[in-house]
Each structure stands twice: as C-alpha cells, then as structure tokens.
Structure 1
Amino acid sequence: MRPDHVIGDKGYGSKAIRTWLRRRGIRHTIPERADQVRNRARRSSLGGRPPVFNKDVYQHRNVVERFFNRLKQWRGIATRYDKTAQSHKTAAPSHQS
C-alpha cells in the first residue's frame, strides 16, 4: 500500500528522497535544511525554486512524534520486562550427550 502523503523532518529533505517520492506520485511535506537554502541562494536562478512547504500540514507530524514518545516511556515496551515463560515462549536448547 502506498501513502498519499509523507510528512518528514529535515533528515529526509535530501534531493534524492524528494525525487523518489515525486516519481511515485507521493506528496510530501519536508522542511528544507539551512545548507540547502544557502546552496540554492548561492546558485541564484540556477538553484531552482524552493520546495513547497505547508506549515499547517507539518504540524500534524507532532501527533505521531508524541505517540512514539509515549510508547518509549512505557516501561514494558522500552525495556521488555515482560519476558516471562508464558508471554515470551522460547525453546530451551536441548543438550544431548
């Protein structure tokens, strides 16, 4: 299944990732890194247009970030203390002589 829209942080703002998404018809909202802005400005008109960025859409990324943060805070998931014989079935190694 292919997503309709990808919202990513600046770590996903490379030209290669944007091109990959565009070729597959996937819209994206990814902010530009400061070095990308400087390089585009340095190249003047050859630098091209800045990518479209919608702040309102980008704010929805916060919901997902908060969800993952809550999962990490849950001790059972963060440290996997729930490894008991009943909840985490493992086969004991067989020692044959």
Structure 2
Amino acid sequence: MGVSPQGDQRRANRQRRGSRGGRPTGFDRPRYARRNEVERTINALKGFRAIATRYDKRAYVFQGTVTLAAIRLWLR
C-alpha cells in the first residue's frame, strides 16, 4: 500500500490497467503521517554531527550517541 497521496486521474488509470497498473491505489493517511514524523525526526537527528557522519566504530557506542541526541531533542 502506498503512503503518498495520488491524483484522481492516476488512481483511475491504475484501476483501469488492473494488475498491470503498478503500485496499489490505496492511501493510508495515518501511515503517511507517521512516515512524515519519522522522516522529520531522522533529519533532526542528522543535525548532530556525530550521527550524520557516524564517527563511532562500535554499534553500542553509536546507539548511545543516538539515544543521547534523541533525549536532547525531546528536552527542547
């Protein structure tokens, strides 16, 4: 199921073509809103240089850096 809205003509064309029409015509508004929220959060986290460039070698250290950055964003 797609998450971005489609125009009426695109939706009608996809339905007309049936199984050859490409992606499904459905649009799930809550799913789209959640995707937008996740993308904005990831972009905010990338504002922290250590996360954007991944300086940490070990995964657990990187996870701690992400956690600390998320806490800082939440406290703003």
| Pairwise same-fold verdict (TM > 0.5) | no
Larger radius of gyration: 1
The TM-score, its normalising length taken from structure 2, stands at 0.42
Say which structure is richer in helix: 2
Structure holding more strand per residue: 1
TM-score, normalised to structure 1, is 0.35
Higher relative contact order (CA 8 A, sep 6+): 2
